[in-house]
Amino acid sequence: MKIIAIGANLPGADNAPPRTACGRALERLEGVGIRVVKRSGWFSSRPVPVAAQPRFVNGVAAVETALGPAALMAALLACETGLGRRRGAANEARIIDLDIIDYDGRVEAGLGGPKLPHPRLEGRAFVLLPLAEIAPGWRHPVSGAAIVELIAALPEADRAPAAIKAMNDGGGIFGTEWNGGA
């Protein structure tokens, strides 16, 4: 299973809200040979590391593609650029952020491509909680830990509603942003 993470905490170039940017990212991926087969609901989460910036909208999607890891990462970066993201300092607020979380259980050091699985996924409730929605049987490719074990290992403060909470899809608002997949 190929899993990507989607997040945003700034309005898009057209001043659209972050959740709209996340939906647009999924639409763009469909146009470049990346088929979204399953997606989580949206979560509202505080920035990690904690900073004086807006909360994020986060989710994950399972995708199918013939692209290898490096080409998939290049497509994700091109999507970010197409949506108006300009890279600056690490962990800054952003219009859109797309990352490969897992690529068919591969373990790669990141030489000539992305490091797989994503090196910080175990400590990120904003990845683990949405991932548990779409892949409750998922296991970390390196440690073998089940998703429920990884979530349980998070500090309580990172799992608390003040840190992360599921968002109401607003009576189907996601369908107005993206019409593919599940």
143 found inside a domain: yes
Q: Is the pLDDT of residue 3 over 80?
A: yes
For residues 65-88, give the mean pLDDT. 92
Contact 100, 113 (CB under 8 A): no
Burial 44-82 (b: 16+ CB within 10 A, else e): bbbbbeeeeeeebbbbbbbbebebebeebbebbeebbee
pLDDT of residue 88: 76
> Containing domain of residue 111, as a range?
2-172
pLDDT band, very low/low/confident/very high, at 169 (cuts 50, 70, 90)? low
Q: Is the pLDDT of residue 174 over 50?
A: no
Selection from 21, 174, 16 nearest residue 97 by Cα: 21
182 found inside a domain: no
pLDDT of residue 160: 83
What is the CATH number for 155? 3.30.70.560
State pLDDT tens for residues 18-75: 999 999 999 999 889 999 999 999 999 988 876 788 999 999 999 999 999 999 999 9
State how many domains the chain has: 1
179 found inside a domain: no
pLDDT of residue 181: 37
* Cα distance between residue 2 and residue 114, in whole Å: 13
* Cα distance between residue 69 and residue 72, in whole Å: 5
State pLDDT tens for residues 104-149: 999 988 788 899 999 889 989 999 999 999 999 999 999 999 999 9
Selection from 59, 79, 56, 53 nearest residue 9 by Cα: 56
pLDDT of residue 108: 87
Coil, strand or helix at 31: coil
pLDDT of residue 7: 95
Distance of CA 130 to the CA centre of its chain: 9
Name the helix (H) or strand (E) containing 129: helix 125-134
More confident residue, 99 or 162: 99
pLDDT of residue 67: 96
